[in-house]
């Protein structure tokens, strides 16, 4: 039986797809058979970030509608043979994701995979609700700003009331905070909330803090999940988050302001 993990947020553009790609890749690199599903019908970002966009023939909605089977639609990652992508449809209407259809696909995948990651669209409409409904675990992706924290809080309410686990009075969805695009210098100047501020408001365990990093854009432009770049700060931070997800005790990094060396202080960075 697979563990179903939703990467969600409420707000758009906070780093859900970046995180889904990184965490799925991290789990697979650790030897767990993992599939990452793009629930963002109409947008199709995940396959670009994963670098498999040219290989998309069938998608999630084709499988739900019985136009293709999972074997035909799953794309095997080039770098890691334990990693698969189920891409989103680019054109279909958003109502294509039905509870029955999604449930059936997840049930089939469950037999064969250790982890199923669901990359949620923004908002609290159908797509986002479908992505979180079947979750065992939720990674609530949040930026250190008030509007993002507010929307994450709303999603926590949804997880606690509208998920399958809530409906069936099962053990609640396990919730984790993933703080992304964190810039310690801007926290210091008061432009951004601190890790402690966000944790105090949302009051859920911290899975990781991902620094704001140039390496994320570089990685997504080249279709390689940033976690593969273990020279980069963001890549290392995602690797730490994956380790914590797997139960390891890893200290936080990249939360303090980088001390500038003498040369940087004189000449700027």
Ligand X SMILES: Nc1ncnc2c1ncn2[C@@H]1O[C@H](COP(=O)(O)OP(=O)(O)O)[C@@H](O)[C@H]1O
Binding site for ligand X (CB under 6 A): 9, 12-18, 45, 122, 180-181, 210, 212-213, 216-217, 220, 234
Tell me whether residue 178 or residue 187 sits nearer to Mg ion (CB atom).
178
CB under 5 to 8 A by kind: which of Mg ion, ligand X, none does 212 bind? ligand X
- Of all residues in this chain, which one has the CB nearest to Mg ion in the complex? 17
- Give the β-pairing of 34-38 and 115-119: parallel
CB under 5 to 8 A by kind: which of ligand X, Mg ion, none does 15 bind? ligand X
Determine the Cα–Cα distance for residues 140 and 250; give it in Å rounded to an integer: 19
Determine the Cα–Cα distance for residues 217 and 263; give it in Å rounded to an integer: 27
Q: How many CA atoms lie within 13 A of 247 on its CB side?
A: 0
Q: Shortest gap between Cβ of 45 and Mg ion (angstroms)?
A: 5
17 binds Mg ion per the rule CB under 5 A? yes
Stretch that binds Mg ion, among 16-24, 106-114, 209-217, 227-235 (CB under 5 A): 16-24
Tell me whether residue 14 or residue 74 sits nearer to ligand X (CB atom).
14
Helix residue ranges, H only, 90-224: 99-110, 126-133, 146-162, 164-167, 184-188, 195-202, 214-221
195 is written with which tokens?
């890790």
**Between 214-221 and 233-245, two packed helices, what is the crossing angle to 10 degrees?**
90
Judged by CB under 5 A, the chain residues 28 through 67 that form the site for Mg ion are 45
Q: Shortest gap between Cβ of 168 and ligand X (angstroms)?
A: 28
Tell me whether residue 217 or residue 246 sits nearer to ligand X (CB atom).
217
Q: Shortest gap between Cβ of 269 and Mg ion (angstroms)?
A: 30
Which residue, 55, 48, 68, 22, is CA-closest to 211? 22
| Cα end-to-end span (Å), the chain | 49
Tell me whether residue 103 or residue 223 sits nearer to ligand X (CB atom).
223
Determine the Cα–Cα distance for residues 29 and 21; give it in Å rounded to an integer: 12
Tell me whether residue 12 or residue 261 sits nearer to Mg ion (CB atom).
12
Tell me whether residue 3 or residue 17 sits nearer to Mg ion (CB atom).
17
CB 130 within 8 A of CB 99: yes
47 is written with which tokens?
């396959």
Q: Shortest gap between Cβ of 35 and ligand X (angstroms)?
A: 18
Q: Shortest gap between Cβ of 201 and ligand X (angstroms)?
A: 19
């Amino acid at each position: 039986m697979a563990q179903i993990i939703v990467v969600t947020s409420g707000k758009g553009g906070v780093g859900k797809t970046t995180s889904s790609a990184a965490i799925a890749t991290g789990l697979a690199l650790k030897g767990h058979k993992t599939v990452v599903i793009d629930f963002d019908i109409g947008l199709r970002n995940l396959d670009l970030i994963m670098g498999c966009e040219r290989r998309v023939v069938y998608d999630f909605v084709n499988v739900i509608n019985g136009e293709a089977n999972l074997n035909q639609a799953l794309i095997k990652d080039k770098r890691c043979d334990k990693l698969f992508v189920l891409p989103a449809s680019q054109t279909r209407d958003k109502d294509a994701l039905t509870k029955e259809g999604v449930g059936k696909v997840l049930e089939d995948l469950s037999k064969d995979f250790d982890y199923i990651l669901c990359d949620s669209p923004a908002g609290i409409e159908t797509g986002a609700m479908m992505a979180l409904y079947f979750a065992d675990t939720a990674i609530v992706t949040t930026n250190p700003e008030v509007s993002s924290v507010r929307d994450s809080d709303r999603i926590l309410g949804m997880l606690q009331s509208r998920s399958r686990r809530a409906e069936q009075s099962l053990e609640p969805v396990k919730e984790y905070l993933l703080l992304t695009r964190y810039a310690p210098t801007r926290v210091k100047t008061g432009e951004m909330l601190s890790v402690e501020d966000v944790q105090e408001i949302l009051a859920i365990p911290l899975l990781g803090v991902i620094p704001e990093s140039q390496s994320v854009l570089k990685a997504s432009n080249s279709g390689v999940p940033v976690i593969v770049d273990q020279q980069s700060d963001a890549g290392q931070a995602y690797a730490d988050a994956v380790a914590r997800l797997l139960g390891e005790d890893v200290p936080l990094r990249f939360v303090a302001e980088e001390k500038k060396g003498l040369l940087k202080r004189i000449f700027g960075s």
